[in-house]
Amino acid sequence: MKKWLKIFILFILSCENEFQLNERIVGFSAGGADWFPEQVSGNTLEEKAHFLALGLKEVGARWYRPGIPLRAIQNEINPCAEEIESIIEKGNWRVFETVLTTLKKEGISLIAGIGIGYTNALPLISEEGCMKEKAGTHISPDLMGREKYIEMNYLFAKSAVRRFKEIVKIWQIENELNVACETVIWGWREGSLWCDWEFLDSLMDALYRAVKEEDPDALITHNFHTDLHWRDDVRRWYHYIDIIGLDAYPNYLNGKRTYGKEVGKRVGIAKGSFPEKPVIVLETGYPTAPAERNFSEEGQTRYIRDAINSTFENGGSGFLYFTFITSEKEEIKGLQAVEPFWGLIRRDGTKPSWYVIKELFERYGD
């Protein structure tokens, strides 16, 4: 009963604090700030970040959303350690400090993702401590225990916000958590707790508190996966977010007929259902391969034009394309074979979609 009373109070407060963003968000989402494909030039991290920033500005992007995975900060953790906060604090933050600072200096505004529970984003269990027999296995809520896992992410989020609150304007808490159970089936997460909505509620609550405790003025968003279910999920976590974020991949399985306008349709539904808060597209994309699934550069160009136009025509406050540069290598099999081909830059030059995004970012970013 107390839990639902708290949710009700937060809901009322969130409605009283209605606002609109003072600028349109146009730019790109990325998986992490510590990974650069071969197309990104530079010998040092600083040079690569500078090259990326210049590329973003050239195509008219003003915003960039990297994720900050805990594993990139601390590769191994003893799940039973009492000093988890100290372990996180002493982790390797240099990569993100360098990349985020460089992007900010170049005039790129930042949204950062924290508390992401994808298996490859979580640390490995160390050889020391109570779970050494599972050393080398990724941490998961089931292995660690729900309370300990939530505490770890709460402390990690606080540490990240404390470090970067002068650089990051908006924090994305977790990632497509409304389909966490489905991503277990897809192999992106591990454990049955991802199918426990009470656990997911508690995790969202902890990440929300972590951000607001360190920076009360920070804005919070979440990227709701919209290809399966989402409207009731937005309503469920409405009180934890200042900005409603949508992820949409209506062409993930096949590219023969492009569905870019479906992105704007979902934006319109969100605006109609939740008019008090800004709605932004945090992720959407159309790959240029594999050809046997009817993906092409022509289809990508058409999809991007329809997706951006329809987003703003339906009242959207922002649009981030996933993503600026990908490897363009045939390195994944099966349904996820599309993943290396979202980007706008081939290994031998730009794709036609680069020019379309530049035109539309300049139009809507003003």
**What does the pLDDT profile of the chain (366 residues) look like in tens digits?**
555 555 454 544 444 445 568 889 999 999 765 568 888 999 999 999 999 999 999 999 999 999 999 999 999 999 888 889 999 999 999 999 999 999 999 999 999 999 999 999 999 999 988 888 899 999 999 999 999 999 999 999 999 999 999 999 999 999 999 999 999 999 999 999 999 999 999 999 999 999 999 999 999 999 999 999 999 999 999 999 999 999 999 999 999 999 999 999 999 999 999 999 999 999 999 999 999 999 999 999 999 999 999 999 999 999 999 999 999 999 999 999 999 999 999 989 999 999 999 999 999 997
For residue 156, being part of any structural domain is answered with yes
Amino acid 9: pLDDT: 47
For residue 7, being part of any structural domain is answered with no
Chain length of the chain? 366
The answer to whether the predicted template modeling score (pTM) of the entire model surpasses 0.75 is yes
CA atoms of 37 and 99, how far apart (whole Å): 15
**What residues make up the domain containing 153?**
66-225+234-240
For residue 249, being part of any structural domain is answered with no
Number of domains, the chain: 1
CA atoms of 110 and 6, how far apart (whole Å): 30
For residue 200, being part of any structural domain is answered with yes
Structure tokens at 267: 């934006």
Helical (H) or strand (E) element with 282: strand 279-284
Sign of CA dihedral 162, 179, 330, 341: negative
Return the SS3 of 288: coil
CA atoms of 296 and 256, how far apart (whole Å): 9
Mind giving me the DSSP string for 289-301? --GGGT--HHHHH
For residue 123, being part of any structural domain is answered with yes
For residue 310, being part of any structural domain is answered with no
**Matching residue, tokens 């985020």:** 100
For residue 336, being part of any structural domain is answered with no
For residue 148, being part of any structural domain is answered with yes
C-alpha separations of 161 from 156, 158, 214, 217, 238 in Å: 9, 5, 6, 11, 21
